[in-house]
């Protein structure tokens, strides 16, 4: 459990407290409150408002009178939802802001049925929790991604959903930070027998602190002296003025809690302050363990000053039972002490919300036409079981926001003209506005919606003429039948009217286009057939290795390399290699030979073998790529040979072979030290970054691995083997759909699953390389408990056995902070969702930080092995700001 202590400047705290006590950004909703009674202020100073305008459905209620003495405002009123399956609150928030979100549910037998509640609570399109208690508060801490936040109540059986209070409190951005996911409240307690719950205004964030009744073996401590609480967590003074310690000075202070499942991850936050005036001979020093494993320490609480010790990484407890113990150290004269503690489980909200532009466009359409459908609440597309009526979406790519592809508002009683808001639905493919009372002209902007191919405007009262741009749009299917006053142009729409004469109506001319296309295709086929016959007579039969599976020569379908620069004849290749005398290596592509150009410049000549799976297409791709890209960390192409069946690539000579050879020890007998490894990683990352950002269009390598990282005589790293590389043909594209290619173990699972290739696929492969260099373990090893290196590293870290993942041949000769930063970076690169992986630019920055840390070590004799992995990763921030990792 990595932890660190954080401080903050008093002046900044005062400014923020003033802001928080003014309730800036607070949202306090009394659900079911009459608008006539809104707003009102509690004795705490908090101001609550009615939920009118925040939800479009539901009925108001009040808890039964016999329970009113047990509760106060705003718990007395509620809103319940007897209609519809999903009913949602829509709250305007600030995007990219850390919020504490609380929802309160007090049944109070409001309906006289004495029935226990049982319904689901959703956070936007994601499941949050099940409400099945008569009195409960659900709390999460979440960073918003947009300016709209939705809290939805979902009926799952006979129980009718209800809610009493909805509260949002903005927090500092750098508090309660997680590696991934959001935080769900587990407990928040301070150690006192006072029985008083502390909240706003004592707590500027309006957190509720509940007193823990102390056991007989615990001694309470209190102070009337001032305790400095000026940290970013701003724990209330009333909380920090109390603490607990064991009555027996040699006993441990134990705190136990349970988790729903053993695999549940959680974060804990321990708040310390020494609130006893100690004598000169007194010492209080403690260690912290979790389920018997060392967690943190030794630690000494600061006199009358708050410090927060917190998780950097999520924890798990074997068996789902957590036992946190505070133990005095051997040099401590006093027992351990603890003032307060919080714990949260990790909750993931993986489902992305629908494309925000699509949602905004649809909301505008809803508002303009006054559409009030009970199902039109929450996210339009997801979850799929709550898809809005009349909407179809594309949700196939889980790494991208869902998009709205179809809008059916037929027979919806629409009046007026076609709203321009529809043009904001930029992914729309099908639009059905048939059988309404729409008037006016059909707007030209519909032709600008590139994806729109099917339109049904039949059964309305449109006037004017159909815009030519719409009629001429390729592939468009347009139905305007049943609009008696609508005209078409150039005779493109024809149908008989009531008088038997032809009237312009419904058909877009695709027949002529299809006929023309057929003629063109037929001519092209004849041309190719005759060209192939001619080629076979001139060149003779192609060798088998140059043929595709159906017998066609790839040269008939692949254009020749459009350059004569750096082109060598086969006889020149034989000369430069001295008739292929010296072999450098062999792979699936063929054999690599050593050679000289002009008798002086050393080169590596890769000859494509007849049996190689790397055909002419890959050969051509690599040549054309290396002819146009140049970077110090990409292997340079000296030239190539493309002569009949003889294909060769001629590279600059890399005298130190590939990185994998050095890691396995086959290249030499010395071990690459950690600094050299980091330098190689930085240079390799820079090569990838250039492909992604420096090339126009961007390139994806597709086969990043240690055997494709070559080293020259100065151990400078360069990426090689670009036969599988792909570019994005159109600038601005985020991915290309392509057949999966790459090396097992290094292959991006998302790319493998979706066939969508992005630069982030290279990032994943580079993450595997990072782990390979850190651990010096094979990528796939069936003899390990977890065969794949990513699973194995994650498994070892979860067990707390971090040291064992490091390459033992380094003998601890490395900066630990640098190593763990690299491990964290690798894990980020391996995120299952490509959008959550860093870019290669961010990877380069992170690796440079690792290298700088390693280079700043005080000489090679620093004994890092003697320290535990947890100790070296702990930091104490300065009085100015916390140090971020």
Q: What CATH number is attached to the domain comprising 708?
A: 1.10.510.10
Mean pLDDT to the nearest integer, 428-442: 96
Give the C-alpha separation, 212 to 210, whole Å: 7
Residue 751 lies in a domain: yes
Same structural domain, 822 and 708: yes
* pLDDT at residue 120, rounded to an integer: 97
What's phi and psi for 671, nearest 5 deg?
A: -95, 130
- 606 annotated as a binding-site residue: yes
* pLDDT at residue 3, rounded to an integer: 44
Residue 375 lies in a domain: yes
Among the residue ranges 530-544, 585-599, 776-790, the one predicted with the least confidence is 530-544
Q: How confident is the model at residue 322 (pLDDT cuts 50, 70, 90)?
A: very high
Same structural domain, 666 and 802: yes
Q: What is the pLDDT of residues 175-194, one digit of tens each?
A: 999 988 999 999 999 999 88
Same structural domain, 532 and 406: no
> 143 - beta bridge partners?
98
> 142 - beta bridge partners?
99
Same structural domain, 693 and 766: yes
Mean pLDDT to the nearest integer, 532-540: 37
Q: Is the pLDDT of residue 557 over 70?
A: no
Burial class (CB in 10 A: 0-12, 13-18, 19+), 823: buried
Same structural domain, 550 and 570: no
Pick the catalytic residue: 203, 432, 456, 703? 703
Residue 713 lies in a domain: yes
| pTM for the model | 0.57
Choosing from 473, 494, 509, the residue where a domain stops is 509
What's phi and psi for 506, nearest 5 deg?
A: -135, -15
Residue of 421, 423, 422, 465 whose CA lies nearest to 440? 465
Q: Please, are residues 244 and 272 in contact by the beta-carbon 8 Å criterion?
A: no
Same structural domain, 689 and 732: yes
Give the C-alpha separation, 823 to 817, whole Å: 10
Mean pLDDT to the nearest integer, 533-541: 36
pLDDT top residue among 500 and 386: 386
Residue 212 lies in a domain: yes
Number of domains within the chain: 6
* pLDDT at residue 749, rounded to an integer: 87
Residue 12 lies in a domain: no
Same structural domain, 601 and 696: no
Q: How confident is the model at residue 713 (pLDDT cuts 50, 70, 90)?
A: confident
Q: Please, are residues 588 and 614 in contact by the beta-carbon 8 Å criterion?
A: yes
Measured N-to-C along each axis, helices 759-775 and 674-689 cross at an angle, to the nearest 10 degrees, of 170
**Sheet with 646-652: strands ordered across:** 583-587, 590-597, 601-608, 646-652, 637-643
Instruction: Give the C-alpha distances (Å, rounded to integers) separating 306 from 411, 749, 844.
Output: 65, 45, 37
Same structural domain, 614 and 735: no
CATH of residue 166:
2.60.120.260
Q: How confident is the model at residue 308 (pLDDT cuts 50, 70, 90)?
A: very high
CATH of residue 404:
3.80.10.10
Q: Which residue segment(s) compose the domain that 536 sits in?
A: 515-554
Token couple for 560: 């020749």
CATH of residue 275:
2.60.120
Same structural domain, 541 and 571: no
Share of the chain above pLDDT 70, in %: 81
Residue 804 lies in a domain: yes
Q: What is the pLDDT of residues 60-118, one digit of tens each?
A: 999 999 999 999 999 999 999 999 999 999 999 998 899 999 999 999 999 999 999 99
The structure tokens 């009123």 sit at 77
What's phi and psi for 165, nearest 5 deg?
A: -140, 140
Q: What is the pLDDT of residues 723-757, one digit of tens each?
A: 777 776 544 444 455 556 778 889 888 888 887 88
* pLDDT at residue 586, rounded to an integer: 75
Q: What is the pLDDT of residues 115-154, one digit of tens each?
A: 999 999 999 999 999 999 999 999 999 999 888 999 999 9
Mean pLDDT to the nearest integer, 658-678: 78
Residue 788 lies in a domain: yes
Cis previous bond, 800, omega within 30: no
Same structural domain, 322 and 400: no
Same structural domain, 495 and 532: no
Same structural domain, 74 and 166: yes
Q: Please, are residues 2 and 875 in contact by the beta-carbon 8 Å criterion?
A: no
Q: Is 703 a catalytic residue?
A: yes
Q: Is the dihedral of CA 497, 500, 504, 508 positive or negative?
A: positive
Residue 15 lies in a domain: no
Length, in residues, of the chain: 885
Give the C-alpha separation, 144 to 150, whole Å: 11
């Amino acid at each position: 459990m990595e932890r660190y202590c954080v401080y903050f400047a008093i002046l900044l705290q005062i400014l923020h407290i003033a802001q928080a006590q003014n309730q800036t950004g607070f949202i306090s909703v009394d659900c079911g409150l009459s608008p006539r009674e809104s707003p009102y202020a509690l004795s705490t100073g908090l101001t609550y408002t009615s939920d009118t305008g925040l939800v479009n459905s539901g009925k108001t209620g009040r808890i039964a009178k016999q329970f009113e003495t047990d509760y106060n405002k705003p718990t007395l009123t509620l809103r319940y939802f007897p209609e519809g399956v999903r009913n949602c609150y829509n709250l305007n928030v600030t995007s990219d802001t850390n919020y504490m979100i609380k929802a309160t549910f007090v049944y109070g037998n409001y309906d006289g049925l004495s029935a226990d509640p049982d319904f689901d609570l959703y956070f936007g399109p994601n499941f949050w929790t099940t409400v099945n208690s008569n009195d409960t508060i659900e709390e999460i801490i979440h960073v918003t991604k947009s300016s709209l936040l939705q809290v939805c109540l979902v009926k799952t059986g006979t129980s009718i959903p209800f809610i009493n209070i909805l509260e949002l409190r903005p927090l500092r951005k750098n508090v309660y930070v997680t590696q991934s996911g959001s935080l769900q409240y587990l407990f928040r307690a301070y150690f006192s027998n006072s029985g008083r719950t502390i909240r706003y205004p004592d707590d500027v964030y309006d957190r509720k602190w509940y007193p823990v009744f102390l056991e007989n073996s615990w001694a309470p401590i209190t102070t009337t002296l001032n305790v400095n609480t000026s940290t970013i967590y701003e724990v209330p003074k009333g909380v920090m003025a109390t603490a607990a310690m064991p009555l027996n000075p040699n006993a441990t202070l134990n705190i136990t809690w349970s988790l729903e499942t053993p695999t549940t991850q959680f974060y804990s936050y321990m708040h310390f302050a020494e609130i006893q005036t100690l004598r000169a001979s007194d010492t209080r020093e403690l260690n912290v363990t979790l389920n018997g494993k060392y967690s943190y320490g030794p630690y000494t609480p600061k006199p009358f000053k708050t410090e927060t010790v917190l998780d950097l990484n999520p924890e798990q407890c074997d068996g789902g039972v957590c036992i946190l113990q505070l133990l005095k150290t051997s040099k401590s004269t006093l027992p351990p002490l603890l003032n307060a503690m919080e714990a949260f489980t990790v909750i993931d909200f993986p489902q992305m919300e629908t494309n925000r532009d699509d949602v905004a466009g649809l909301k505008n359409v809803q508002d303009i036409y006054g559409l009030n459908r009970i199902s039109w609440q929450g996210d339009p597309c997801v979850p799929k079981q709550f898809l809005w009526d009349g909407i179809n979406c594309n949700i196939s790519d889980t790494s991208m926001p869902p998009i709205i592809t179809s809008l059916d508002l037929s027979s919806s009683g629409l009046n007026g003209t076609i709203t321009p808001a529809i043009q904001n639905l930029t992914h729309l493919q099908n639009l059905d506005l048939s059988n309404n009372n729409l008037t006016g002209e059909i707007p030209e902007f519909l032709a600008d919606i590139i994806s729109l191919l099917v339109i049904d405007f039949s059964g309305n009262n449109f006037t004017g003429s159909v815009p030519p741009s719409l009629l001429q749009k390729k592939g468009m299917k347009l139905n305007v039948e049943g609009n008696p006053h609508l005209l078409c142009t150039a005779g493109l729409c024809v149908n008989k009217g009531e008088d038997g004469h032809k009237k312009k109506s419904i058909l877009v001319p695709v027949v002529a286009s299809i006929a023309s296309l057929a003629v063109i295709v037929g001519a092209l086929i004849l041309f190719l057939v005759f060209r192939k016959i001619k080629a076979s007579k001139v060149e003779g039969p192609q060798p088998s290795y140059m043929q595709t599976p159906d017998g066609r020569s790839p040269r008939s379908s692949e254009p020749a390399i459009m350059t004569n620069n750096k082109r060598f004849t086969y006889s020149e290749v034989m000369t430069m290699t001295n008739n292929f005398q010296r072999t450098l290596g062999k792979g699936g592509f063929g054999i690599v030979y050593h050679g000289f150009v002009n008798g002086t410049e050393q080169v590596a000549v890769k000859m494509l073998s007849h049996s190689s799976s790397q055909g002419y297409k890959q050969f051509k791709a690599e040549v054309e790529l290396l002819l146009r890209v140049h970077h110090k960390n990409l292997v340079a192409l000296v030239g190539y040979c493309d002569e009949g069946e003889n294909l060769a690539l001629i590279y600059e000579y890399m005298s130190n072979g590939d990185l994998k050879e050095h890691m396995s020890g086959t290249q030499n007998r010395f071990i690459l030290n950690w600094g050299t490894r980091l330098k190689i990683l930085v240079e390799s990352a820079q090569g990838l970054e250039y492909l992604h950002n420096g090339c126009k269009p961007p390139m994806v390598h597709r086969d990043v691995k240690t055997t494709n990282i070559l080293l020259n005589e100065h151990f400078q790293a360069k990426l090689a083997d670009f036969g599988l590389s792909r570019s994005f043909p159109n600038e601005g594209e985020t991915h290309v759909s392509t057949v999966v290619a790459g090396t097992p173990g290094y292959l991006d699972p998302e790319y493998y699953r979706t066939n969508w290739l992005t630069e982030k696929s290279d990032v994943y492969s580079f993450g595997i390389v990072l782990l390979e260099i850190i651990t010096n373990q094979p990528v796939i090893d069936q003899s390990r408990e977890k065969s794949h290196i990513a699973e194995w590293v994650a498994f070892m870290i979860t067990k707390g056995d971090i040291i064992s993942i490091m390459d033992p041949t380094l003998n601890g000769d490395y900066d630990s902070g640098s190593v763990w930063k690299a491990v964290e970076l690798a894990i980020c690169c391996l995120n299952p969702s490509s959008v959550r992986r860093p870019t290669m630019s961010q990877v380069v920055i992170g690796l440079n930080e690792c290298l700088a840390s390693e280079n700043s070590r005080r000489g090679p004799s620093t004994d890092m092995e003697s320290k535990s992995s947890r100790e070296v990763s702990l930091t104490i921030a300065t009085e100015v700001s916390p140090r971020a990792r």
